[in-house]
Amino acid sequence: MKRKKILSAAIIFLAAVAIFPARAAEVTLSRKQCIEIALDSSPTVKVADLEVKRTEYARRETTGSLLPTIDFQAAYQRSIELQTIRMNMGGQSQSLKMGSDNTWNLGFNAQMPLVAPTLWKAISISKDQILASLESARQSRLDLVHQINQAYYSLLLAIASKDVIRQNYDRALLNAEIYEKQFQAGTASEYDVLRSSVQVTNIEPELLQADISVRQCKLSLVVLMGIDYDFEFTPDVTLEEMQQEMYGYPLGADTDLNGNSSLRSLDIQARIADKNVDLKKFAWIPTLGASFNLNWMSLSNGNAFRNLDFSPYSTVGLALSVPIFSGGTKYYGLKQAQVQVKEVALQRENLLNSLSMQRDLALDNINREVRQIESSAAGMKSAEKAYDIMQKSFEIGAASFLDLRDSELAHTTARLSYLQCIYNYLVSVSELDLLLGRENEIR
């Protein structure tokens, strides 16, 4: 009986575990781990990588044009009416039938370019097109890293803001308890008790909204990482813990714009435009090709599959093509390519000026935000000290609830402003990294 009871209990326990599985332990993720997960699973990055592969195949397709092309051909022809010729023989006109009922022709045909300047230049251009695809894939990764950074920092800000509101809620509860005790002791009015209770009730919606904000930020980050939306995790660092790295833009960091993805893409386009000019010029150069044919022919009458007698014959030759006149298409095509080179040069100059201005403004913003962090940190400490003094004064009855509420509001505002400054700095640094094309966060 004991064994049956134990067995029954075990079955019930296993069934309960199957129906109500235990919640898995929450995972802790760093920002770099989130980036690694996103780079491995992001559809955008995968599409960019596939585009690189497609461009590589296109280059191989162009290169394959330099190799011989070999075709096998087979043809059959049935004569309905043989050709008739008439000849005068001995003063009389006679007609003769020429040809065969069946003609079989099969063989191999090989062709190979020997001198093809336009093809050579097209292969060179295809290599630059691969570089353009690689740069586009790199840009996709940089954009994704920046999006992950923003989402991660937003999550840190939401969590920190929720903690501030939670502290306000706990303090409001404490003040309500103090008024309740004072009311029971006869040193506080019922109005004071109701007012402190209303304050607790007013903070509860803010706490709920803060919790919703945290969930939304987590969901946004999870979507960017390309994993299940119900995945639970927590950041491995707080927003305040990241202040120790805030001394302006990282010392020794290269702020040169050569790594900017848009600028690099435009440089590749400039090289392609220059080669397009050469490609148009090469259209005037003669081309030379070689050919080889190996064929077998059979002529027969009657049944097409009888009396087959294939005789081989083969040829080898060279084909020279010299362009002379094409209605001006080559000339105007060259002019278009030259105009495109000038357009790309002007675009690069304009882009470089714009990027230089954006970089200088970004560096100024970062340095200003560092000073704002220092200023807001000092203001937060002063507000916290003032609140502590007012809280103790309130507990002994030396300060009114209105004075306490004012100091509490000042402290909360200072703390939220401090957290917002840290967030602004982190996002600004990420934006500058994206502008400069820094890849240190990808490695």
pLDDT in tens, the chain (443 residues): 444 443 343 333 344 334 444 444 568 888 899 999 888 888 888 888 899 899 999 889 888 888 899 999 999 998 888 877 777 766 677 777 777 889 999 999 999 999 999 889 999 999 999 999 999 999 999 999 999 999 999 999 999 999 999 988 888 888 788 778 877 877 677 887 888 788 888 888 888 999 999 999 999 999 888 887 778 888 988 888 887 666 655 655 678 898 899 999 999 999 999 999 999 999 899 999 999 999 999 988 888 888 888 889 999 999 999 998 888 898 999 999 999 999 999 999 999 999 999 999 999 998 898 888 889 889 988 988 888 888 788 777 777 777 777 888 888 889 999 999 999 999 999 999 999 998 754 43
pLDDT at res. 176: 82
Cα 346 to Cα 432: distance, rounded to the nearest angstrom: 24
For 29, the 3-state DSSP assignment is strand
Query: What gap in Å lies between CA 370 and CA 251, rounded to an integer?
Result: 14
Residue 72: predicted pLDDT: 95
Residue that the structure tokens 């004991």 belong to = 2
Q: Say what the pLDDT of residue 351 is.
A: 95
Task: Give the pLDDT confidence score for residue 244 in this predicted structure.
Answer: 67
Instruction: Write the DSSP assignment of 174-224 as a string of letters.
Output: HHHHHHHHHHHHTSS-HHHHHHHHHHHHHHHHHHHHHHHHHHHHHHHHHHH
Alpha-carbon 77 to chain mean position: 58
Taking alpha carbons only, the member of 233, 224, 216 closest to residue 154 is 216
Backbone dihedral region for residue 91 (phi beyond 0: left; psi -120 to 50: alpha; all else: beta): left
What is the pLDDT, as a whole number, of residue 23? 45
The pTM score is 0.78
